[in-house]
Chains A and B, each alone.
Chain A
C-alpha cells in the first residue's frame, strides 16, 4: 500500500534552516509528481511546491519561492524540502503528497515551529 512518511521537523530560530524528508513506499516513486502542502496552526491548507518524477519540472508558490527548495532522490524513494530564511509565519505542519493536481495520498505531516 502507498505510504508517505515525513521527518525532519522541529524547532528552529527565525532566519534558520531545516530540511524535511518524505519517505515513499508502495508505488514506483520515480513515475510520480510529488508535492508539499502546509497547514499553519488552526488554519487551512496552503499548497507550496511540486516536482516532476525526473526532477526537471519544479514550481513554487510565491510565499516560499527563493527560500525553499524542493528536490528528490529516486534511488532512495525520497522527497525533500530545504527551508532557508525561516520566518515565524512558516510555523506549520508540512505534508508531502502524491500528484500535485489531485493529491491522492498524504503523509502524516511534520511539525515545524519557527520561534526564538
Chain B
C-alpha cells in the first residue's frame, strides 16, 4: 500500500500569517492516464471532511483562493496564504492513484 506522510502533524499559526503543510507518498502518484490523484481535505471540529483541492492543484468551487496546492510525483504541499479563524481543523492529504487509496495522518491547524 502507498504510505502517505504529512509534516508537521501540529501547526500553530498566527492569524493573517501564511501556513504550509507537506505531504509525501511512498510511490509516485502519477496514474496511467497521466493525471496525479492527490487530494487535500479539511475537517473542522465535529464536521465531515470537505474537499479543498483535487488533482494536486485544482481548487474546489467555494474554496477561498487563499488555499493552494502544488507538487508532483511524490512531494506535495498545501499552502494557506493568510490564515483565518475558520481555517482551524485537521488537514488530510489523500492519494487516489493506487488501490487501496490512502490518507495521510492529518495535520492539526490551530491558532497561536
Binding site for B on A (CB under 8 A): 44-47, 59-62, 95, 100-104, 106-109
Contact = CB atoms under 8 A, between A and B. Distances in A.
27 contacts: A44-B90, A44-B92, A44-B103, A44-B104, A44-B105, A44-B106, A45-B41, A45-B92, A45-B94, A47-B101, A47-B102, A47-B103, A59-B99, A62-B1, A62-B100, A95-B49, A101-B97, A102-B39, A102-B51, A102-B54, A103-B41, A103-B94, A104-B51, A106-B49, A106-B50, A108-B48, A109-B48
Contact of B60 (A61, A104, A106): A104
Interface of B: 1, 37, 39, 41, 48-51, 54-55, 60, 90, 92, 94, 96-97, 99-106
A108 B51 CA distance: 14
Contact of B96 (A61, A101, A107, A109): A101
